[in-house]
């Protein structure tokens, strides 16, 4: 079991260190190798995704990824910005299936900005297509407009597109996932306006014929954004394209009140995967020892389950995380009165202790 550890920027190194600590406490044999990525890699070698890092990622069974990005790189040319590392890894490894669970932990219900009764027991799964859509469609760029409202002026453009096999494979991932849950898929589109998403809807409907045991409904993305804050528990699995999934998954994460708790997995067709917390690099708190490592620790659990064939070890980690929450331990992002505030390292130590 070879794991590439890519800590990245901001709080990335602190939180991945805790997840590595937890992995090492499981009593399993892993081969782990660490490499720079994002702004850290740019500083070290002039590129956010150096060839050596990419090769390591390709050769591993799984990648544990911290976070990338810092405002100080915002003025760099786009190909050199830290975000290109994650986009480059997704593309190079074909990580088309992105799992973003939004689970509201019992002890953290009051941390949500929604009323407790709306989110208590929330457990939804957003499956975001991750290698297509307007994120990667060509052509894109800047040019002089030849038509539109202002011909002769400068304009910028991107291309939204999905091929049939791209939609089919992500739809299958969603139906299979729903089979192991509450057997309901909501496909989110914008079929009322966009050709790409009328096609998306048609193809998902066709694939659904192979999954008669799973219920399918379709929802426009604007309505989905609204339903997520109105009645989030009505969803089970949401499947959608790359851009809508980017937006809706941030919205869903906030329902749980604790983006510091949410793991994610990005898989290819060989079950090779990249595992990362759903939150970003939080440069404002980097190095202070206050970041919440639980999303990264839970990402390591997803890694054990999806890419390394170790479901029992994954269960052990998830049980340990619930135990430390039950003990009342909280990093500042999830702290509330009556609980015990701890730092990044103490939280990691507590999970290790709860494993035993
Ligand atoms: C995410 C992030 C990325 C995305 C950025 C950092 C490129 O927002 O993983 O959701 O847009 O996909
Ligand atoms: Mg995002």
CA angle 66, 67, 70 (to 5 degrees): 145
Q: Which two tokens stand for residue 91?
A: 């593309």
Residue 242 CA: nearest ligand 1 atom is 12
Q: What is the pTM of this model?
A: 0.95
Cα-to-centroid distance, 283 and ligand 1 (Å): 16
The pLDDT of residue 61 is 97
The pLDDT of residue 258 is 81
Q: Which CATH code for domain 1-97+261-356? A: 3.40.718.10
pLDDT tens, position by position, 19-50: 999 999 999 999 999 999 999 999 999 999 99
CA 238 – CA 216 distance, rounded (Å): 10
Start-to-end CA span in the chain (Å): 22
CA angle 174, 180, 186 (to 5 degrees): 35
Cα-to-centroid distance, 99 and ligand 2 (Å): 13
The pLDDT of residue 259 is 84
Picking from 350, 289, 291, 283, the residue whose alpha carbon sits closest to that of residue 321 is: 350
Question: What residue segments make up the domains of the chain, in order of their start?
Answer: 1-97+261-356, 113-256
CA 298 – CA 77 distance, rounded (Å): 34
CA diameter of the chain: 68
The pLDDT of residue 110 is 85
pLDDT tens, position by position, 220-276: 999 999 999 999 999 999 999 999 999 999 999 989 888 889 999 999 999 999 999
Picking from 249, 243, 246, 248, the residue whose alpha carbon sits closest to that of residue 159 is: 243
CA angle 110, 111, 114 (to 5 degrees): 75
Q: Which CATH superfamily is domain 113-256 in?
A: Isopropylmalate Dehydrogenase (3.40.718.10)
Residues assigned a catalytic role: 135, 190, 222, 246, 250
Q: Which residue positions in the chain have pLDDT lower than 70?
A: none
């Amino acid at each position: 079991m070879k794991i590439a550890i890519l800590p990245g920027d901001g709080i990335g190194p602190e939180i991945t260190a805790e997840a590595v600590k937890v992995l090492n406490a499981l009593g399993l044999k892993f081969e782990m190798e660490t490499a720079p990525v994002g702004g850290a890699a740019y500083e070290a070698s002039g590129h956010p995704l150096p060839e050596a890092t990419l090769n390591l990622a390709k050769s591993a069974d799984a990648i544990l990824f911290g976070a990338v990005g810092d405002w100080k790189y915002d003025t760099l040319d786009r190909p050199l910005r830290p975000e290109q590392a994650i986009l480059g890894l997704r593309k190079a490894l074909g990580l088309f299936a992105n799992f973003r669970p939004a689970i509201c932990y019992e002890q953290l219900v009051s941390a949500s900005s929604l009323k407790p009764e709306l989110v208590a027991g929330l457990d939804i799964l957003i499956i975001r297509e991750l290698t297509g859509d307007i994120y990667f469609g060509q052509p894109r760029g800047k040019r002089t407009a030849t038509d539109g409202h202002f011909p002769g002026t400068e304009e910028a453009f991107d291309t939204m597109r999905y091929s049939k096999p791209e939609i089919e494979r992500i739809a299958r991932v969603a139906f299979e996932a729903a089979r192991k849950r509450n057997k309901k898929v909501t496909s989110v589109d914008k079929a009322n306006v966009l050709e790409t998403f009328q096609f998306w809807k048609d193809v998902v409907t066709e694939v659904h014929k192979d999954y008669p045991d799973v219920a399918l409904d379709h929802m426009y993305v604007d309505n989905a954004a609204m339903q997520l804050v109105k009645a989030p528990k009505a969803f089970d699995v949401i499947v959608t394209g790359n851009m809508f999934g980017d937006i809706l998954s941030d919205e869903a994460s906030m329902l749980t009140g604790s983006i510091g708790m949410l793991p994610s997995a990005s898989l290819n067709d060989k079950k090779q995967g990249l595992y990362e917390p759903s939150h970003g690099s939080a440069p404002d708190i980097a190095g202070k020892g206050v970041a919440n490592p639980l999303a990264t620790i839970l990402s390591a659990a997803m890694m054990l389950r999806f890419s390394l064939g170790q479901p029992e070890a994954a269960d052990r980690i998830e049980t340990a995380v619930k135990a430390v929450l039950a003990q009342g331990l909280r990093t500042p992002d999830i702290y509330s009165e009556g609980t015990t505030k701890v730092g990044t390292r103490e939280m990691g130590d507590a999970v290790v202790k709860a494993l035993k």
